[in-house]
Amino acid sequence: MSERIVVVGAALVDDGRLLAARRSAPVELAGRWELPGGKVEPGESADAALVRELREELGVDAEAGGRVPGEWPLKSPYVLHVWTARLRPGSAAPEPLEDHDELRWLGPGEIWDVHWLDQDVPAVRQTLAHLGAAGGLT
Ligand code: CDP
């Protein structure tokens, strides 16, 4: 099995805070927090998938920044990549439209206050290191 499918997660940062989203489904993931996102479709670029997923799941108009270095295994054949993202001027505030039932903006001291999905923990840790180095979230 060599095919892998990339799931893009968004490190959506606004006003120095990182958005975390609590999953409402499927049952084995419900109640756990993640970086919002989803599968990249065939022929779609990762940054386009990120913008699409954020529009569908949160109703926001976002733009991708750059990719956070690294790749984290999910249930085969999926792997998680993380991209930074920000809201474009005039975007609506995020709302949990599908997949999620609660959102939280986490300040620098609050990142570990939520129960992240196991597989998102190393991705979030790497994201913080990346954002910190860029002066985004310290
Ligand atoms: O919306 P779409 O169906 O494209 O994707 P999804 O169901 O949101 O995510 C696809 C898979 O990636 C699910 O199994 C999620 O649990 C997983 N995922 C994850 O582990 N961490 C994330 N930050 C986002 C998705």
Q: What is the mean pLDDT of the chain?
A: 95
Indicate the SS3 state at residue 79. strand
pLDDT for 38: 98
Ligand 1 atom with least separation from CA of 37: 24
Determine the average pLDDT of the residues in 50-76: 97
pLDDT for 70: 97
pLDDT for 138: 66
For ligand 1, whether the C-beta of 39 sits within 6 Å is yes
Of 14, 38, 31, nearest to 102 by C-alpha is: 31
Residue nearest to atom 9 of ligand 1 (CA): 38
CA–CA dist 34, 29 (Å, integer): 10
ipTM of the complex: 0.92
Structure-token match 């913008």, residue found: 51
Q: Do 103 and 74 form a contact (C-beta atoms < 8 A)? A: no
For ligand 1, whether the C-beta of 127 sits within 6 Å is no
Query: What residues contact residue 5 under an 8 Å CB cut-off, 6+ apart?
Result: 39, 40, 77, 78, 79
